[in-house]
Structure 1
Amino acid sequence: TTDAQQGDAFLGYSCHCSPGYSGARCQHKCSGPLGMEGGIISKGQLSSSSALRDMFGLQRWTPNLARLHRTGMVNAWSPSESDRWPWIQVNLLRQMRVTGLITQGARRLGSSEYVKSYKIGFSDNAANWSMMTSRGDTQDMIFHGNSDSSSPMANAFFPPIEAQYIRVYPQVCRGHCMLRMELMGCELTGCSEPLGLKGGQVQDSQLTSSSVYQTLGMGFLAWTPNRARLDHQAKVNAWTAATNDHNQWIQVDLLVPTKITGVVTQGAKDFGRVQFVRSYKLAYSNDGIKWTTYQDEGQHKDKVFQGNVDNDTHRKNLIQPPIYGRFLRLIPWSWSGRITLRMELLGCTEED
């Protein structure tokens, strides 16, 4: 079904998308990772009822570690042994549509430990909480969790949750309640799909830049704009400008007018040297000739977006109100090392 009215109103009925889908033709599946694994969800957005201290207090299993596929000796969240009603909480900073959760256990001192079942709570203010229930039932829904320490287990939420805060309440655990996780969902608008830099739908020819740096002056070590794809892995795996100044830019031609609702950025390393963009401006155009710099509505001047703080963590910025245009330019405004960038754009086609 579709939520587009398209003449249906006079017949006295309307249509709605199935849970987890949005867009005029229900074409957007609201099931993207919200940023636990990638780091878009920062340490400050995570809290818990308690945290396990192990090995005479040397090991601390804090909520910031509860990220899907995290590695290392201490690589998950676990509540303290005395915590009878444990929980871990994610503050999404604004209302989001949350459509599911992926969970994973961990190993501790050689033992496989994990959450076998859990409940889900949600809130808009972190004070008044509601619990997910089964349809037509007033009992809290209990979700099946993991059966080992490494295999991810996904559960979908029907209907999706619309809230700012999400809590996971472990119910039954094997050993300690070890948890790594990822929340799935999207912005409430539904218009927050990756536009194709990471996935490859945006072709190399659609990416251009003001200049290109070459390591040691060698052409085969050129940091060209087509490499500026989020999470791209290679020795040369990002765009780097030839010079560090405010005249540098990287441009994406989306080929058709597009609603752009977010930008995700990432730095990179050049032979071990950490490099990233600390802040940037955005400009947009429909013809590639006449450009408009995105404005901070409150201050009536060019908006400067906060960028990365290291070479690997994702940094997501929402564009509110959205940009409508075919071309987008990211203009680095401050940086560490050389201007170096990997990126993804979020949004949907203007038609949708």
Structure 2
Amino acid sequence: MSGRWAVVVFFATISVLVFMDGVEAKPKVCYIGRLPMPDLQNPDIYQWIKHFKDFVRARCPRSCDVVATGGCLNPRRLGLEDGSIPDERIRSSDDGDRSPSAAHGRLNGPSYWRPRFPYGSWIEVDLVQTTRVSGVITQGIQLQFSTWLVREFKVSYNPTPLSSSYEYVRDDNGDITVFDGGDIHHASTPHTNFFNQSVMASVVRIEIQRWIVSVGFRFEVIQCPQ
């Protein structure tokens, strides 16, 4: 390969890596095979770069992620269930009101979070530093004479500790994802939802949308292996 084409390949590759993984700033390998070769009879550098990028875009879409295939085999739980995240880093929309503390909302915990005002309620966990998050596990509560379950929810997140704005987890079309909270007949069974693509977040917030009977909620945030 001549020096001129080496330069072309270098810059084209840099452009493709940015396209491939703007969220995590790390390349993903979705295709292994022969790359398109330049037409030496018509060495149009810019046309070849466009061809190269189109080639990779077709074989390595923006959502190329282990999560996009439907989940991962061994997601890592990030600390709500085992208590490694302390109580003060779990907050809710009704902090200070006379309702069970947000810290009761730990997955498989003996208690649960029940907001005083369900409409517009949310619960969040502060991860302190920017962390890759791939999904959430949610859980309702089966009481003696009733079952409480969050039927639908959205997930928003704060990308960095210095940011004051939240972004939503979205689908391939750019629409805000509304997640399913599970089956009313198995409300106490943990229900896992993977994101379409992992996000980088310092705070993860669950925004309650619909519920059955009342909001009795427990959750965990998870991370897929890279």
TM-score, normalised to structure 2, is: 0.64
After the TM superposition, which residues 248-259 of structure 1 pair with which residues of structure 2 at under 5 Å, given as runs? Answer: none
Question: Does 1:127 find its partner at 2:173?
Answer: no
Distance in 1 separating the partners of 2:130 and 2:82: 20
Unaligned runs of at least 5 residues, structure 2? 1-26, 38-51
Aligned partner of 1:129: which letter? Answer: Y
Pairs within 5 Å for 1:290-329: none
Query: 1:109 deviation in Å?
Result: 6.6
Say whether 1:95 aligns with 2:130. Answer: yes
| Shift, 1:179, TM fit | 0.8
Looking at structure 2, the residues matched to 172 and 101 of structure 1 have their Cα atoms a distance apart, in angstroms, of 17
- Aligned Cα root-mean-square deviation (Å): 3.3
**Counterpart for residue 79 of structure 1:** 115
Counterpart in the other structure of 1:143: 179
**Structure 1 counterpart of 2:194:** 156
> How far apart are the structure 1 equivalents of 2:96 and 2:146?
15
Deviations 1:121-168, CA, capped at 9 Å, x for gaps? 01124621111222123x321111122331221111011111111110
Name the counterpart of 2:65: 19
Confirm or deny: 8 A CA contact 1:52 1:79 kept in the other structure.
no
Give the counterpart of 1:69 among 105, 108, 115.
108
Q: Highest relative contact order (Cα 8 Å, sep 6+), 1 or 2?
A: 2
DSSP-derived class of the 1:61 partner: coil
TM-score by length of 1: 0.43
Distance 2:182 2:74 in 1: 23
Q: How much does 1:84 deviate?
A: 2.7
Aligned in 2, Cα 1:89/1:5: closer, same or farther, shift over 3 Å?
Answer: same
1:118–1:142 Cα contact (<8 Å) kept: yes
CA distance in 1, matches of 2:183, 2:33: 50
Count residues in correspondence. Answer: 172
In structure 1, list runs of 5 or more residues that go unmatched: 22-27, 191-352
Whether contact under 8 Å (1:51, 1:77) holds in the other structure is no
Q: Secondary structure at the match of 2:170?
A: coil
Q: Which amino acid aligns with 2:125?
A: V
Distance in 2 separating the partners of 1:95 and 1:169: 20
Would you tell me which structure has more helix in proportion to its own residues? 2
Q: 2:148 pairs with 110, 113, 125, which one?
A: 113
